[in-house]
Amino acid sequence: MTAPANDRELVISRLINASPEKVYAAWTTPGLLVQWFAPKPWTTARAELDVRTGGSSLVVMRSPEGEEMPCPGVYLEVVPGKKIVSTDAYLRTWEPSGKPFMTLILTFEPEDGKTRYTARVLHWTVADRVQHEQMGFHEGWGQCTEQLAALVEGR
């Protein structure tokens, strides 16, 4: 288990039975991302991904009642097959967001023919981290990680 580095960080880590390239592709291919990104019963209505350092993303989740939750961001660092760093501090083309909430660091490391998938979520404040936990971070991100694993493992 990977532990948070400080009191503003939340972490999910899992060994996934697929190659790092396959897990990375599930994060960077819109048609794959929409299949697993939102915790059920929510769905992912659409994903617009310009996966490159400085590129923007917009992922829209939809509740069972039809309410949409847009998740815009900008990629700070992209290392194909290995690492993605993104933040909601910017909306697109370095346009500041109204209230930055988090920076996401995803790593895809080979381990025993599988992938050690780690999602580190860094928050601007301890209060933001607490809010994210209360929103159901561990349950929601855990469920999404399971959905991601099921997709790339072919289950």
Whether cis (ω within 30° of 0) applies to the bond prior to 70 is: no
Chain position carrying tokens 């920076």: 103
Q: Does domain 9-153 have CATH number 3.40.50.360?
A: no
Distance CA 107, CA 97 (A): 25
pLDDT digits (tens, 9 = 90+) for 46-63: 999 999 999 999 999 999
- Using the 8-state DSSP alphabet, how is residue 91 labeled? S
- pLDDT range class, residue 121, cuts 50, 70, 90: very high
pLDDT of residue 95: 87
Higher pLDDT, 47 or 3: 47
Mean pLDDT of 64-76: 96
pLDDT of residue 1: 58
- How much is the mean pLDDT over the chain? 94
The domain segmentation of the chain, as residue ranges, is 9-153
Backbone angles phi, psi at 7, to 5 degrees: -80, 5
pLDDT digits (tens, 9 = 90+) for 76-109: 999 999 999 999 999 877 889 988 999 999 999 9
- pLDDT range class, residue 3, cuts 50, 70, 90: confident
The answer to whether residue 37 scores a pLDDT higher than 70 is yes
pLDDT of residue 89: 95
Mean pLDDT of 39-45: 96
